[in-house]
Structure 1
Amino acid sequence: MVKLTDESRAFHYGVYTIVSQIPEGKVTTYGHIAYLLDKPANSRQVGTSLKHYHAIFRDLNQGYAPQDEEFLNVDTLPWWRVISSSGKISPREDSHGQYRQADFLRREGVDVSPAHLIDTGEFGWFPEEVDL
């Protein structure tokens, strides 16, 4: 079981709050999420937060029931809408993960090249601020 510090709980909760706001058919980058959290040097930590979200959700949901507003539903996090700053789907330990992410994005109308590149000019979501 993951046991998080209060600081890392706040960071992860912020990541998931932002990712949940990315509109269908749009993408943003790990770096932009870090920027929105006022932690511009922490884009890798955003990636780690998304990589381990199942375990982190278990920690964040301790003490909450599914009907509580604070409860995070692991099944509704659109993790596939986050890509690298180069506009590419990031490699995964499991190579199928990249293809799954590309499939999810294509189902939302995002053009994904065979090399897993996405035009962030057309499909990017880069607000200056979000509700946290």
Structure 2
Amino acid sequence: MSDRDEFKEQVYSVVQRIPKGRVTSYGHIAKLINHPRHARHVGTAMRESPPNLPWQRVVSFQGKISPRVPLDNCARQAQLLRQEGVVVEADEMGLFCVDLTLYGWFPAEAAGSGDVQIGGT
């Protein structure tokens, strides 16, 4: 397995663990897999994610749904999160946004499920 494939598998493993109704950031996923400066690489991996991955649960460190092409994917992500009970609102720029203090999922470690913190970064 290549380093790139291993990185993607680590990302997908963390994303699979994000509970329904919660979100986390690209940067926090990078931190959990011991690549804290690779949030953009997490985003790249997410663009190539398998169809069964709950991709909608990953947002920016500000809680914003990252703009992408096609643009209707932002609305789709917001819709999927709303179906999980997450409140998604539009900010002053018209970008969809989630309140991380209410819906954030930020475990201290990738392997431990008992040390989950809600909110924060």
1:28 shift after superposition? 0.1
Identity percentage of aligned residues: 44
1:127 pairs, out of 104, 107, 111, with 107
CA deviation after TM superposition for structure 1 residue 111, in Å: 0.4
Where in structure 2 are the equivalents of 1:1-132 lying within 5 Å?
A: 6-53=2-49, 74-115=50-91, 116-131=96-111
TM, length-normalised to structure 1? 0.78
1:94 and 1:76 mapped to 2: Cα distance? 20
Aligned length: 108
Query: Which residue of 1 is the match for residue 117 of structure 2?
Result: none
Per-residue deviation, 1:46: 0.2
Q: Deviations over 1:58-98 (max 9, x none)?
A: xxxxxxxxxxxxxxxx3320000000011100001111000
Give the alignment's TM-score, normalised by structure 2: 0.85
Distance 1:75 1:52 in 2: 9
Whose strand proportion is higher, 1 or 2? Answer: 2
Q: Secondary structure at the match of 2:13?
A: helix
CA distance in 1, matches of 2:28, 2:53: 17
State the 1:114 CA deviation: 2.4
* 2:17 match: secondary structure: coil
Name structure 2 gaps, 5 residues minimum: 113-121
- What RMSD over aligned residues (CA atoms) do the two structures have, in Å? 1.4
- Larger RCO (CA under 8 A, 6+ residues apart): 1
For structure 1, list consecutive stretches of 5 or more residues without a partner in the other structure: 54-73
